[in-house]
Amino acid sequence: MALTELEIRSARATEKPIKLFDGDGLYLFVQPNGGRWWRFKYRFHGKERELSLGVYPEVSLKLARTRREDARRAVAQGIDPSAERKAAKEARQVTFELIAEEWLALQAKKLAPVTYDKARWMLSTFIYPRLGSRPIAEITAPELLAALRVIETRGTHETAHRTKQRVGQVFRYAIATGRAERDISVDLRGALAPIVTTHHAAITDPIAIGHLLRAIDGYSGQPVTVAALKLAPLMFVRPGELRQAEWSEINMDAAEWRIPGGRMKMREAHIVPLAKQAVEILRDLQPLTGRSRYVFPSLRSRDRPMSENAINAALRRLGYGHEEMTAHGFRAMASTCLNEQDWHPDLIELQLAHAERNKVRAAYNRSTRLADRKKMMQAWADHLDTLRAGAQVIQLRRQSG
């Protein structure tokens, strides 16, 4: 016989729990302490199971019956309501931060250290505070956009786009592991302010290059920074590759620096032929930093490389603004001048470690053109000496005039 509200209110707790049945598996469980719980008893695949439907009076008789009918329909459709509730609870515990940390742990084996550190910084700084504790399957596109807008308000539009890219990768990992159904970042296509592409400032005029080299020779900063400044135009590698150089990678007898693929942008090992001038600078530096892992260790700790901004900061102290010359600009300087001197474009691109889309051609270049690149790098170093001397002559003429 079905229960009534009067019967429920009149029921008194006893020394032992009692059950007040309403029908179709629904009953009210009255505990000795007075607590009253709605429960639904059902059979699924031949096994008896129970499902809690809430506490009376927060859950009224009418609402308890509605929940019972919902559960009965689920059973009729071959769905176990207890298992479904458990899965929903587990899904709520699968937060964005939990998935992101799993993804980052996998990326630590694939990404270059600087790239990994930036990915972790973007997620922990901009996404975790707002969305980290949210179940990943419940996060909406507007929520993600609001988090990215915070980055845009700082004027760092490229960081906003890169953060969105990392969030998308986390979502796709969650989809692959069965903990999300779709990547909501794709819904934000066109929602962020576009990135304004700017080229790294670089000096390419021969006379101006000579003046820059003379200024570097006169720089009175830390010896490690001075050495890095002098080697930047001779090697023209990416700033991150230069500052993270390790002594174990450099063979001064063979005049080569072999950079592991893990630190290269294109993820392939790279050989930098060392001109005589570069070897001389390294030999002078070795007594100072040779006991460190890094060729250019941080001033604060020999276990870390020099600051990411060290070379740019030195250029600013020399009077070169960010719109005039940057650490990355030494690559453009070498590329422009070497092309003007009619060195083969393949040699220049190979030495710049740019990607070669034709894999067969790329393999041929890597295996056969090292001798040619050694000649080019020595000729380039000699050319820089000529430009430096020319700048000195011009300076002396101006002083005498």
Q: Which residues are catalytic?
A: 238, 265, 328, 331, 354, 364
Q: Rounded to whole angstroms, how far apart are CA atoms 91 and 180?
A: 9
Interhelix angle 157-176/96-107, rounded to 10 degrees, is: 90
Residue type, 199: H
Q: Rounded to whole angstroms, how far apart are CA atoms 362 and 126?
A: 39
The DSSP 8-state label assigned to residue 189 in this structure reads T
- For residue 38, how far is the Cα from the chain centroid? 49
262, with CB counted inside 10 A (0-12, 13-18, 19+), is middle
Q: Rounded to whole angstroms, how far apart are CA atoms 386 and 401?
A: 22
- For residue 130, how far is the Cα from the chain centroid? 18
Q: Rounded to whole angstroms, how far apart are CA atoms 131 and 170?
A: 13
Output the CA–CA distances (angstroms, integers) from residue 301 to 219, 221, 284, 315, in the order listed: 23, 18, 21, 23
| Strands annotated E in 194-289 | 250-251, 256-259, 270-273
Peptide bond into 57 cis (omega under 30): yes
Residue carrying structure tokens 């592409």: 197
Largest CA-CA distance found in the chain, in angstroms, rounded? 116
Q: How many CB atoms lie within 10 A of CB 92?
A: 12
Helices (H), 108-156: 113-122, 128-131, 141-152
Phi, psi of 22 (to 5 degrees): -110, -20
Q: Is the dihedral of CA 78, 83, 85, 88 positive or negative?
A: negative
